[in-house]
Amino acid sequence: MNRHDQLIGYCNTEERIEQCCKQNTSFKPENFNPKHDDYIENLIAVKRGEALFSREKSQYQCRGDIIDHNMCTQYARQAKEGIKDKSGKRQFGIRVPLRLIPRPSMNGTHLFDGIAGWHREEASRQAGLSYFPAILDQDFLDLETKYEKDRYLRRLNKHADNGLPNSESDLLNGIAAALLPSSGILQDEVTEITTINRKIQDQNLPDSDLRKLRKKRKELITKVVERLVDDVVEDSAGRWTKAYAEKKIKNVIDNWDHSENIAIYVYSKDEMDRIIEREKKRAKNPKKMILKAQNGNANGVRQLKGDLWSAIINYDETYGKLPEEVTVVLALKDAGRVKKLHEERLKHDKTLKRHIEHAYKDKIKVNTLFLGQSKSPGQFEQTAKLYNVTHVKTKLDQINKKIVDNSLSS
Instruction: Please report the pLDDT score of residue 202 as a whole number.
Output: 67
Alpha carbon distance 246, 250 (integer Å): 6
Which residue pairs, CB below 8 angstroms and at least 24 apart, start in 243-250?
248/171, 248/172, 248/175, 249/175, 249/224, 249/225, 250/221, 250/225
Fold adopted by 3-145 = 3.90.1530
> Looking at residue 144, what is its pLDDT?
84
Give the whole-angstrom CA distance, residue 169 versus residue 173.
6
CA atoms within 13 A on the CB side of 311: 21
Stated as kind and residue range, the H or E segment containing 341 is helix 338-359
- What pLDDT does residue 355 have? 84
pLDDT at res. 164: 61
Output helix, strand, coil percentages for the chain, rounded to the nearest 5.
Answer: 55, 15, 35
Instruction: Find, among 286, 292, 249, 252, the residue nearest to 272 by Cα.
Output: 292
Calculate the CA 121 to chain-centre distance.
17
Return all residues near 304 (Cβ < 8 A) that are at least 6 apart.
292, 294, 296, 328, 348, 352
Largest CA distance in the chain: 78
Low-confidence ranges of the chain (pLDDT < 70): 55-67, 105-107, 157-165, 201-204, 256-263, 296-300, 335-337, 377, 403-410
Q: Point out which residues pair with 291 in neighbouring strands.
A: 327
Domain coordinates in residue numbering, the chain: 3-145, 169-256, 269-409
Q: Choose among 377, 366, 289, 300: nearest CA to 331.
A: 300
The predicted model scores a pTM of 0.56
CB-CB contact of 325 with 337 (8 Å)? no
**Residue 343 carries which side chain, given as an amino acid letter?**
E
